Amino acid sequence: MSLPKTLTWLLAGAALSLTASAAMAQQTNLRVFVSSQHRPDVWRKAFDMYEAKNPNVKVTIETGGNTSEAQAQYLNTVMTAKDTSLDVMILDVIRPAQYAAAGWTVPFNDVLGNNAEAAMKQYLPAYAEANTVDGKVVALPAFADAMFLYYRKDLLEKHGVKPPTTWDELTAAAKKVMDAEKDPNLQGLSFQGKAIEGAVCTFLLPYWSMGKNLVSNGKLSFDKDAAVKSFKLWKDFVDQGVAKKNIAEVATDDTRKEFQAGNVLFAVNWSYAWGQFQGGESAVKDKVGVVKLPAVAGGQPASCLGGWEWGVSAYSNNKTEAQKFVQYLSSPETSEFMAINAALLPAFADKYTDPDVTKAVPWFAEAKPVVETAKARPVTPRYNEVSEIIRTSVNAVLAGTTTPEQAADQMEGRLRRVLR
């Protein structure tokens, strides 16, 4: 072997390892928190596509908490500890403002430049609003959400019953089907009675349907009569045997699982449930219908605005890469991918009627007006306390430890102290 050739090899080897270490040095590892019930398996695929286009970025998923408050509790601990290991986190729509106020997220205005306002205009107005605080874009939409009524199409057809448009019709329909089916495992209606964030919406659905608001201009506008009626509506479902006795223990994903196992006729739930109902492990595949939620008699139907947003941690060591990644996650392309593969509602208006989306999730075309008219939970810096008061009251009524009247009284007093 001639010397020059050996030298060339040596030099080439050195150059290669230099390039390799340069590439290593540029490699960014992003750690992303995703809520466990919102299809981390499908988000993983979206992350893989990003990695394929950005070989210098590696994304690791962290999941946890099966409810919104369990996740918030975990993230609060991470943020309070100023932990640098988490770069990106998915946040319930009720939280971006609160996280920004705590200084836990960094605004996107630098990466969005002068176009921040135009960038936010692409999204449904409710999400542009929820993610903008004092002119700063504090998070970007992951997906939209609202509550719907899921029903067993096969059972309603079998018994000649139409999907209900009022809660009274729902009771009558449930009784008719349950009496005829004589299946002791079949629940007429499943909804969220556990003291979780979702129970705030449980309370508000009939309350709003009666045309009442809880907070107006930051002040409590409590209608006691409507509150009593709302508590009573849910408790009556239990007392009449339409909902199961221990509904006070039921969280969102319990409703989803029980419906998916074929044990529920009507279910109040969010959009993610559909993808699971149509999945391989479902007993109700192709037997499910979705409509807007019933109204109280004489009222208007109302839904609760949900949704999840991507925030970048103020303690991340990779803020710029993390923000670029979030821009990809909140793009129309990723939204379409998640709508088709996980039935997560798009934050972009035109995706609801996109032919590929409606082919995968036919009811999304009708879901748009529901999302657009869904009502937001009260906006107040003391939302955590408001939420706690409402969800524990709903839970106590359903558990039978307090009456609708007592609950409404106590709730009013407690809310008044918080929202003075």
Binding site for ligand GLC (CB under 6 A): 68, 92-94, 145, 196-198, 252, 270, 306-308
Q: Which is nearer to ligand GLC, 137 or 196 (CB)?
A: 196
Nearer Cβ to ligand GLC, position 99 or 270? 270
d(CA 276, CA 257): 9
Least distance in angstroms from the C-beta of 92 to ligand GLC:
5
Sequence-separated (6 or more) residues with CB below 8 Å from residue 160: none
213, burial (CB in 10 Å: exposed 0-12, middle 13-18, buried 19+): middle
Tokens of 40: 């981390």
In DSSP notation, 276-293 reads HHTSTT-SSTT-EEEEPP
Cα distance between residue 408 and residue 412, in whole Å: 6
Considering the complex, state which of residue 197 and residue 336 has its C-beta at the smaller distance from ligand GLC. 197
Q: What CA–CA distances, in Å, run from 313 to 79, 99, 131, 245, 288?
A: 8, 9, 15, 42, 39
CB of 39 to ligand GLC, least distance (A): 12
Q: Which is nearer to ligand GLC, 93 or 119 (CB)?
A: 93
Name the residue with the smallest CB distance to ligand GLC. 306
Q: What's the closest the beta carbon of residue 127 comes to ligand GLC, in angstroms?
A: 11
316/393 with CB nearer ligand GLC: 393
Shortest Cβ 148–ligand GLC spacing (Å): 12
Q: What whole-number distance in Å separates Cα of residue 8 and Cα of residue 57?
A: 32
- Nearer to ligand GLC (CB atom), residue 230 or residue 271: 271
Pairing, β 88-92 against β 28-35: parallel
Least separation in angstroms between CB 391 and ligand GLC: 10
Min CB(97)–ligand GLC separation in Å: 13
> Is residue 145 within 8 Å of 274, Cβ to Cβ?
no
